[in-house]
Chains A and B, each alone.
Chain A
Amino acid sequence: MLNLSRAAADGAHFVEEVEKRSGQRLTHCYQCGKCTAGCPLAFSMDLMPHQVIRLVQLGLREEALDNKAVWLCSTCATCSTRCPKNVDLAALMDALRIMARREGRTRKGASTALFNRIFLDSVRRHGRAHELGIGLQHNLRSGKPFKDSDLARGLLVRGRLKFRPSRIKGAAEVARIFAEVKRMEDGQ
């Protein structure tokens, strides 16, 4: 049974942290459902977007972080653009993904989390994203080595994929940005 008084007591810090990271006031949301109504990804989600906010409002950390919905959000910001209360749900979803990753709760968004990690690895190493490399890595590490191989071949013959990453001169500088950010955030 979901005990709201206990959740409110246990979840107070959680609500504060989400508000701080997202810059959004949770109480602004009055649960009209317009975010869900317009969300192009809602069809694929386990929780509706308004329910994700509801869970945060009630202080339910685990459920708000450990779900598919936050990882299926594509940050298209349709919700934020149309919210009658000016809640930037896209920013809230970002905050939840960041917190979920920091707490190791990526189980339900494993594929997306893996993609993000590989993508950022690519940027850290080369300074730019190497699309072919990212796709291959993702295939290998998610156990689907031949996924999208037709697509990749089509792109290659049209000169729309590069075999080799283009490494920028300031790659080390970019790597330092990653390191600096990590140092600052871990130090928080």
Chain B
Amino acid sequence: MNYTYYAGCSLHATGREFDLSARAVCGRLGIGLAEIPDWNCCGASPAHSTSHLLAVALSARNLALAEAQGAGDIVVPCAACYQRLAVARKELGEDPGLREQVARITGRDYAGRAGVRSLLEVLGGLDTEHLKAQVTRPLGGLKAACYYGCLLVRPPAVTGFDDPEDPRSMDDLVRLAGAEPVPWGYKTECCGAAHGVANEPVTLKLVRDILEVARRAGADCLVCACPLCQNNLDARQEHVNRVFGTDFGLPVLYFTQLLGWAFGLSDRDLGLDKLFVKFRPGV
């Protein structure tokens, strides 16, 4: 199975290990990823907070490039990029006037043939036997809190592949990998990553709350599908401990890293060495 691949800016920097592990896991599963040539930033929150047209146009260029490449649906690991591309696709499809206007702006038309899917959705939709067959190093009942965050499941009219209040696709994958997903209440709470630079104290409080609830639920680690969330929860954990006097030491990894580990892929291939809080299952 082949997809067009949109990495997004974070996956080339703070979310590097998501890119590595996504490619490694897809490779193992026989999913071909053809990166969109010369893709640009989706615009993220700053774009839609500044100009609706700009937000759609930036994503539309990527959609048009992908469609021109003609390698099937676009698969996006990053939850934020995924949501921006999916929103743009939906709006362009529903409003011919907007499509025309955006085509004038970008100089490229997007007819809506190439769909937009999150990597979680794609992997979650694979045949479970196929997935199980790759598991050579099951996680031995490791307790994992699956953290979906905001953008993967909301707004449901745009995302729609999982339940917005109780998503389960990541839990199912984690279970296949031999880990035990813990039931917890903060699966889809916002981690405030968007404010990490501009309003850090607000972000730290949200991060603290999520870590706290996960720990109370008995989680050994957090599993996520968004580079903003991962970076926020992992890299800021030490800072949270300093500010709140806490002692969190919860590994926060991408679901692709967890899967890849169970598939027997190396730490290096999965970028596990890049985590702030080390992931050492069974130790």
B203 to chain A, nearest CB (A): 9
Give a binary string over A139-162; 1 marks a CB under 8 Å from any B CB, 0 the rest. 000000001101100110011111
Distance between Cα atoms of A98 and B47 in the complex (Å): 10
Q: Are B154 and A181 in contact (CB under 8 A)?
A: no
- Determine the main DSSP class of A at the interface with B: helix
Interface size on A, residues (CB 8 A): 62
Q: Are A180 and B40 in contact (CB under 8 A)?
A: no
Q: Are A138 and B190 in contact (CB under 8 A)?
A: no
Give a binary string over B46-68; 1 marks a CB under 8 Å from any A CB, 0 the rest. 11111111100110010000000
Partner of A115, one of B105, B156, B197, B238: B197
A117 to chain B, nearest CB (A): 8
Chain B residues near A184: list those with CB within 8 A.
Answer: 53, 101, 105
Q: Do A120 and B200 form a contact, CB below 8 Å, given A43-B205, A74-B190, A112-B195? A: no
Chain A residues near B131: list those with CB within 8 A.
Answer: none
Partner of B202, one of A21, A41, A98: A41
Partner of A81, one of B164, B195, B202, B205: B164
Q: Are B9 and A181 in contact (CB under 8 A)?
A: no
Interface status of B189 (Cβ within 8 A of chain A): yes
Q: Are B38 and A170 in contact (CB under 8 A)?
A: yes
Chain A residues near B205: list those with CB within 8 A.
Answer: 43-44
* Max chain A C-beta neighbours (<10 A), residue from B38, B58, B197: B197
Q: Are B41 and A129 in contact (CB under 8 A)?
A: yes
Q: Are A160 and B13 in contact (CB under 8 A)?
A: yes
Q: Do A134 and B197 form a contact, CB below 8 Å, given A90-B155, A161-B13, A181-B57? A: yes
A118 to chain B, nearest CB (A): 8
Q: Are B52 and A94 in contact (CB under 8 A)?
A: yes
Chain B residues near A97: list those with CB within 8 A.
Answer: 49-50
Chain B residues near A154: list those with CB within 8 A.
Answer: 235, 276
Q: Do A178 and B38 form a contact, CB below 8 Å, given A129-B9, A154-B276, A184-B101? A: no
Give a binary string over A158-177; 1 marks a CB under 8 Å from any B CB, 0 the rest. 11111000101110011011
Interface status of A78 (Cβ within 8 A of chain B): yes
Q: Are A158 and B61 in contact (CB under 8 A)?
A: no
Distance between Cα atoms of A98 and B106 in the complex (Å): 21
Q: Which A residues, 49 to 92, have Cβ-Cβ distances below 8 Å to chain B?
A: 72, 74-78, 80-81, 88, 90
Number of A-B contacts (CB under 8 A): 178
Interface residues on B, range: 35 or more
Chain A residues near B199: list those with CB within 8 A.
Answer: 44, 72, 111-112
Interface status of A101 (Cβ within 8 A of chain B): yes
Q: Are B13 and A131 in contact (CB under 8 A)?
A: yes
Interface status of A31 (Cβ within 8 A of chain B): no
Q: Are B46 and A74 in contact (CB under 8 A)?
A: no
Partner of A168, one of B38, B202, B276: B38
Partner of A131, one of B14, B105, B150, B188: B14
Q: Are B192 and A128 in contact (CB under 8 A)?
A: no
Listed A/B pairs (15) with beta-carbon separation below 8 Å: A41-B195, A72-B195, A74-B150, A74-B193, A112-B49, A115-B46, A120-B43, A120-B50, A123-B47, A128-B9, A131-B10, A151-B235, A160-B274, A161-B14, A162-B12
Interface set of A (CB-CB < 8 Å, partner B) = 21, 40-41, 43-44, 72, 74-78, 80-81, 88, 90, 94-95, 97-98, 101, 111-112, 114-117, 119-120, 123, 127-132, 134-135, 138, 147-148, 150-151, 154-155, 158-162, 166, 168-170, 173-174, 176-178, 180-181, 184-185
Give the top 9 A-B pairs by smallest Cβ distance, nearest first: A76-B150, A76-B190, A116-B46, A119-B46, A77-B154, A111-B198, A115-B198, A40-B190, A129-B9
